[in-house]
Structure 1
Amino acid sequence: MDLYKLLMERTEEEEKILKDRRKVEKGLYTDEKDFVIQREKFLSPEKMIMVRKHTRFVDFPNHKHNYIEINYVYSGQLKQTIGEEKITLQQGDLLFLNQHIEHEIEACGNEDLVINFIIHPQFFDDVLMYLSSETIENKIGDFFISSLFNQTQAGQYLHFVVDEIQSIQEWVHKIIQEIMQPTVLSESTIKLYMGLLMIELIKHSDKVKSQRQQYIDYQFVMESLTYIEQNYQNASLYDLADKLNQPHYSLSKAIKQATKHTFKELLQDKRLNKSKELLHHSNLPIASIIEEVGYSNISYFYRIFKRKYGYTPKNLRRSYNKS
């Protein structure tokens, strides 16, 4: 894949900007009054991650987005202002932006080729299983916790100056290629690659610059998320507290304080997400799926499932089959 040649081609949006000297066409990015770029404009319901070339030749006004964004500078540079801080990304740099960050971007020139990763926050539920609290340096762990659980409305970013780290550049390119040239195994492959990329970034955490927030004590949160990921069928707060050698009430309080969710809510969300995945990718009977994810009360499952997704399991599976 000749990515450079592909990125150099002008998009329809870029052609219009050059021809008419237009500003950003807000309707392409959001339906909201405020400039909050919506992931729904780019991600279909069944997709968790995609890449999109950053539009050149136009200033992007101050905006937010309801997804986690990663800017990757393929060539040239990217200048932006986050809050009051001006940041210039050079070739090979990565910038992680959580879903509450507010920033504005200067117009890119013809040779400034930037790839934007648009990522549903839930995507990192699976990526986090590759990591442990001992391996995550504070600002990296705090970024993901706050991104996943809306810990702060102020926004955070991580700027990785990693152009000379060959392993990181290779993983980024592998992810881009997998997204742009998908196969039946791409979804699983991308999660694996992203997990390996995170590990490489953590190894080189000395290369990260961040907007420092008041860090949370996330050690037990990370271990709790890993426990839920691996034991969602039979997980319980008391069992987790026993494994961590913590009183269940203090552990419950720590989880709630860090994520704004109770242990029960986190567990329920994991079970429902897993059931949705099984409805989409398996032929198991619905009753078997309900049992598989750890529920015995079918009517209760139907009620919480419809409350979360707006469909019954049967109707959701039918929609998947049609598509």
Structure 2
Amino acid sequence: MTLNELNVFLAELTENEKISRERYRDNSVPEQFRNLTKPLVYYYTLDDNLSIQINNSPQHVRNEVLQRRTPPSFHAGMKGVERWLCIQKNPRFVTHVDHMHTYFEINYMYSGVCVNIVDGHRIVMEPGDFVFMKPGSVHSILKTRETDILVNIILMPHAASAILDKTLIGANDLSSFIIEALYSDTTRPNHLFLKMRNTESIQDAMARLMCEYFDPDQVAAEVLAESYLRTVFALLWRESTLNPEKAVYAKKPNSMVAEIISYIHENCVDCTRNSVADHIGYNSNYISSLLVEHTGKSFVTIRNGFRMERAEKLLSSTDIPVRDVAEQCGFTNITQFYKVYREYFGRLPRKENQATDSKSAI
């Protein structure tokens, strides 16, 4: 897909947008119903078929979110770039009423203007702007026109291998926000407004990322999509560092939590609570309580999550036996590996090898 083809693709009206445009123009429809998508608070999982509508207050919704969070098996079952990234055009001609998501969401303004109300903050987005939202943030998007193209970007935890590059890890708020947003199981809302309007390098990288994503059958599309995504985050890091006024945080992230998670990510095979504590310079009990407070997860849960991501990558891209994969991911007991894998993905690895490995484990 070329850049011109991307413009045409994003500008084209979907069937739902055609209906919404006509409904908005129809003066016989009461104004309060003419521009709304849904008349109640709701939230989404990553599976459109699992969208849940709830009439309760936003706080109650937050309490319910973790109970219905889409399992990792939903992402792992997809192919190519869709295993870790989802990009969608936001429907036009309607107002998206207060809603929340169970995943880390990014809104990107491709063209035109829109008003995005996030956690009670009114944000006017222009071309090139980003809004990053942690799971649990409540937002609404006011009605957009035909020329107002807002893009929704969803990053799964599997995106870690693409964006947690060593160049992005350090004492910077952007990395800290991304890491917390990806790996936190808490629903305390937080968002970041990146005013990157008129920054051509970032807009070009975003456009090229979408070209690869929306045309996945191209040669090396996933490799290039990963490369462009890393480029986008590196450019955002540079721009927000050189011009800090462009990064507006609702609440500054905890840099120590991000450093701990990054260290576990890099050393998930053999790190322990004590080795993490030695690296950070605090005792292991403090490290454990800090992780639980800010992510809702224990040290072991976070480490096992990274181990499972590593295992799934090896299982899907190599012919290495499951037992060897388990050892390369830090497991000395194959039964324990199967148990953790099933808990994380909701299934066993490589069904064709399951019987062989199970017998050899006895």
- TM class by shorter-chain length? 0.7 to 0.9
Q: 1:92 aligns with which of 111, 128, 148?
A: 128
For residues 276-315 of structure 1, the aligned pairs below 5 Å read: 276-315=312-351
Report the CA distance between 1:108 and its aligned residue.
0.9
> Any idea what SS the aligned residue of 1:204 has?
helix
8 A contact 1:127–1:194 mirrored in 2: yes
TM-score with structure 2 setting the length: 0.75
Matching residue of 1:160: 194
Matching residue of 2:27: none
Q: 2:19 aligns with which of 16, 20, 32?
A: 16
Seen in structure 2, the aligned counterparts of structure 1 residues 82 and 62 have a Cα distance that, compared at 3 Å, is: same
1:32 aligns with 2:58: no
> What is the rounded CA distance, in whole Å, between the counterparts of 1:204 and 1:210 in structure 2?
13
Report the CA distance between 1:217 and its aligned residue.
3.7
Matching residue of 1:202: 237
8 A contact 1:145–1:218 mirrored in 2: no
> What is the rounded CA distance, in whole Å, between the counterparts of 1:266 and 1:290 in structure 2?
17
Moved more, 51-60 or 261-270: 261-270
| Residue identity matched to 2:114 | L
TM-score with structure 1 setting the length: 0.84
8 A contact 2:158–2:309 mirrored in 1: no
For residues 124-273 of structure 1, the aligned pairs below 5 Å read: 124=160, 126-130=162-166, 131-134=168-171, 136-137=172-173, 140-150=174-184, 152-182=186-216, 183=218, 185-205=220-240, 206-213=244-251, 215=252, 217-219=254-256, 221-273=257-309
| Residue identity matched to 1:24 | T
Matching residue of 1:321: none
> What is the rounded CA distance, in whole Å, between the counterparts of 2:306 and 2:207 in structure 1?
30
Listed one character per residue, the Cα deviations across residues 197-238 of structure 1 (whole Å, up to 9, x for unaligned) are 22221222214343523x45432x333333322222222222
> What is the rounded CA distance, in whole Å, between the counterparts of 1:191 and 1:161 in structure 2?
23
> Percent identity, aligned pairs only?
23
> What is the rounded CA distance, in whole Å, between the counterparts of 1:151 and 1:297 in structure 2?
27
Report the CA distance between 1:11 and its aligned residue.
0.5
Seen in structure 2, the aligned counterparts of structure 1 residues 18 and 245 have a Cα distance that, compared at 3 Å, is: closer
Report the CA distance between 1:20 and its aligned residue.
4.3
8 A contact 2:192–2:250 mirrored in 1: no
Aligned length: 312
Seen in structure 2, the aligned counterparts of structure 1 residues 159 and 29 have a Cα distance that, compared at 3 Å, is: farther
| Residue identity matched to 2:122 | K
> What is the rounded CA distance, in whole Å, between the counterparts of 1:24 and 1:39 in structure 2?
23
Seen in structure 2, the aligned counterparts of structure 1 residues 269 and 151 have a Cα distance that, compared at 3 Å, is: closer
CA RMSD of aligned residues (A): 3.0
Structure 2: runs of 5 or more not aligned: 25-33, 56-60, 355-362
Structure 1: runs of 5 or more not aligned: 319-323
| Residue identity matched to 2:194 | F
> What is the rounded CA distance, in whole Å, between the counterparts of 1:299 and 1:30 in structure 2?
32
> Any idea what SS the aligned residue of 1:313 has?
coil
Seen in structure 2, the aligned counterparts of structure 1 residues 39 and 116 have a Cα distance that, compared at 3 Å, is: farther
